[in-house]
Copies of this chain bind each other. A is one copy, B any other.
Amino acid sequence: MPKVRTLGVVGLGLIGGSMALDLRKRGFAEVVLGVEAEPVNAEAALNLGLVDEILPLEECARRSDLLVLAVPVGAALAMLPQVLDIFADCEGDKIVIDVCSTKSALVEAVQEHPLRRFYVPTHPMAGTEYSGPWAAQPGLFDGRACIICNKDDSAPEAVKLVEEIYDCLNMRVIPMDAANHDVHTAYVSHISHVTSFALALTVLEKEKDEKHIFDLASGGFSSTVRLAKSNADMWVPILTQNRENVLQVMDTYMEMMGRFRKAVDECDGDAIRELIFQANRIKRILR
């Protein structure tokens, strides 16, 4: 039996589209409504069977029992208070969640809203470097971690339903406060993207005079630079909203690069070896 009659998904890209697919296929929702600003994406989402219907935000919010904001965090920041205002004008309890990669700004934006308790901030930690409805795929979330932030500020029944969503998506739920979330993701996600972007820029700079440089690109290079394909619409608001944490991690990172540079510059094999040994400890946490 479906947990909710009507699920609304705002933003039918990689994350929203993949959630829509699995939550319907696995029987969590009976009807899936979508909101999608890009006409091409909206048509694709219908053709791909991600949703039953595309609607404007307000109508979708009114008709959904549970609404998922799966848009870049800048857009989510504008929509979240609107959605709670629409809820205030509807009968019965409705719940809204977001799935954005930064959490503090969203939480702050509605901290004083009378319907704050019907909002649950979440972050399913899954994805690929692709975007748009074509990137949506079944099983994207299976086995990954999902963070739920500031649970005590949400209604217990709202938290319970949201935990059921992520249980249905086969995710491990980790509770965390929003500020901590933003520090942690700066370390294990945001910095990886910045280093990939910088690596791509470095090599593309060289390519200006060396057309054949990429003939040599090895598998190692491809995997290190893969995230540089990521979408600016998503990453500009993440990096600006999580500015302070990202800057702090970038500074630590550049300090580490500086240590490496010094060791290489001085041809100090022992120092390079020690840095590599230290870095090798990453083995115990990588699958």
A residues near B (Cβ < 8 Å) are: 125-129, 144-145, 147, 172, 174, 183-185, 187-189, 191-206, 210, 212-232, 235-237, 239-240, 243, 246-247, 249-254, 256-261, 264-265, 267, 269, 272-273, 275-283, 285-287
Contacts and interface: CB of A to CB of B under 8 A. Distances in A.
B232 A280 contact: yes
A204 B264 contact: no
A213 to B, nearest CB: 6
Given A189-B221, A264-B250, A286-B225, A200 B273 contact: no
Nearest to A263: B239
A227 B277 CA distance: 13
8 contacts: A174-B212, A191-B203, A195-B198, A198-B279, A204-B279, A232-B273, A240-B267, A251-B261
Contacts of A265: 243, 247
Given A174-B215, A210-B184, A286 B222 contact: yes
Q: Please state the number of chain copies in the assembly.
A: 2
B189 A272 contact: no
B188 A218 contact: yes
Contacts of A275: 197, 201
Contact of A194 (B129, B183, B189, B260): B260
**Residues of A contacting B: mostly:** helix
Contact of A189 (B127, B220, B280, B285): B220
Given A195-B198, A198-B253, A201-B278, 19 more contacts: A127-B218, A127-B219, A174-B215, A184-B216, A187-B202, A187-B213, A188-B217, A197-B275, A198-B256, A200-B282, A201-B259, A217-B286, A223-B227, A226-B286, A229-B283, A232-B277, A237-B269, A243-B267, A250-B261
A187 B250 CA distance: 21
Given A264-B246, A269-B240, A285-B214, A280 B147 contact: no
A270 to B, nearest CB: 9
Contact of A202 (B196, B210, B256): B256
B253 A260 contact: no
Contacts of A254: 254, 257-258, 261
Given A200-B279, A214-B188, A250 B239 contact: no
A276 B195 contact: no
A193 B220 contact: yes
A99 B194 CA distance: 33
